[in-house]
Amino acid sequence: MSKELKLADGRTLAYDTFGDPDGTPVIFNHGFSDSHVIRNPDDQLTASLGVHWISADEPGVGGSSPKPGRKMVDWGADMEQLADHLALDTFNVAGHSGGGPHALSIAFRLPDRVKKVVLASPVAPFDDPGVTKMLVLKDLKMLVLIRHLHMLLRWTMKFDASTAEKDPAAYVKAAGDELPSNAPTFMRNKEQTAMFAENFRLGYLQQEEGVYEMTLALWGWGFKPEDINQATEIFYGDTDDVISPRMPEFLGSELPNATLHKWEGAGHYGFVDRDRWIEFVTAAKG
């Protein structure tokens, strides 16, 4: 059961914490169609790494209220309220995929409180020339083409939402069939498979609302990567079948203080596998 925070504008923010409550605080940001539960399912492992892992459902996901028309930059203000609620003076941020720009928005909002940024398979601003051509997954390419056709965009997303709601386990299996480089991660063990089923269930708990809002927020972030001055580490897989490795490489070239790490044989979701999770979380600890 996630915790809830009432934000200043009356919306609800659902979040939870994992790992060591006395460890280094890290606010993690999930990606497209995901939710706050995405992680390596061995919470004792995360605790042993000395991090207080904090993760919230983004607007329209899980138990978090929608925020129609939001921009990426708005998430920084939401997370400032969460950091204040948790009495975090300074902390680090992490993000995966579409959660990458969400993490960067916190660093942009709170340059004196966020000390480090760590990203896994992050996306770059979709309005930068050529970036959307770095998408690999055909469904994402289609969403780019129809993003101005809002009713069609929502209708397209409703199909995935209904499938994930009806049978989350079957949704995980289908996702592995569509994304073969991720199938070993999805099916690594029963705990990890169950985590992904719950992750996608929560991701679509409010039907298509969360993915619809995030899709539109990937254009016009409200800040630029070059505005982020914190040290940033970017991890990405060389067998990603969602985005080309060229996208995190491009984002890294735009960030003033970025270091890139290529994971051989990793897919888009490979960051949750045990060895890579240890590397990712250790980097996020700072």
Q: How far apart are CA 109 and CA 77, in angstroms?
A: 7
Average model confidence (pLDDT) across the chain? 97
- At residue 159, the pLDDT reads 87
Tokens of 270: 């490979």
Range of the domain at 122: 3-285
Yes or no: say if 2 and 14 are a contact pair by the CB < 8 Å rule: yes
Q: How far apart are CA 2 and CA 37, in angstroms?
A: 9
CA 225 to chain centre: 17
This prediction has a pTM of 0.97
Question: How many domains are there within the chain?
Answer: 1
The helix/strand count (H/E) of the chain reads as 11, 8
Distances in Å between the Cα of 267 and the Cα atoms of 13, 121, 238 are 30, 9, 7
For the stretch 16-45, pLDDT in tens is 999 999 999 999 999 999 999 999 999 999
Distances in Å between the Cα of 92 and the Cα atoms of 21, 26, 47, 51 are 15, 5, 16, 10
| Whether the predicted pLDDT of 177 surpasses 90 | yes
Q: What is the CATH number of the domain that holds 244?
A: 3.40.50.1820
- At residue 185, the pLDDT reads 98
Q: How far apart are CA 266 and CA 96, in angstroms?
A: 14
Sign of CA dihedral 56, 137, 142, 71: positive
For the stretch 40-88, pLDDT in tens is 999 999 999 999 999 999 999 999 999 999 999 999 999 999 999 999 9
Max CA distance (Å), the chain:
47
Residue type at position 179: L
CA 19 to chain centre: 18
Comparing 44-48, 111-115, 145-149, 257-261, the range with the smallest average pLDDT is 145-149
**Alpha-helical runs (H) found in 86-118:** 99-109
Nearest to residue 83, comparing CAs of 2, 27, 29, 28? 27
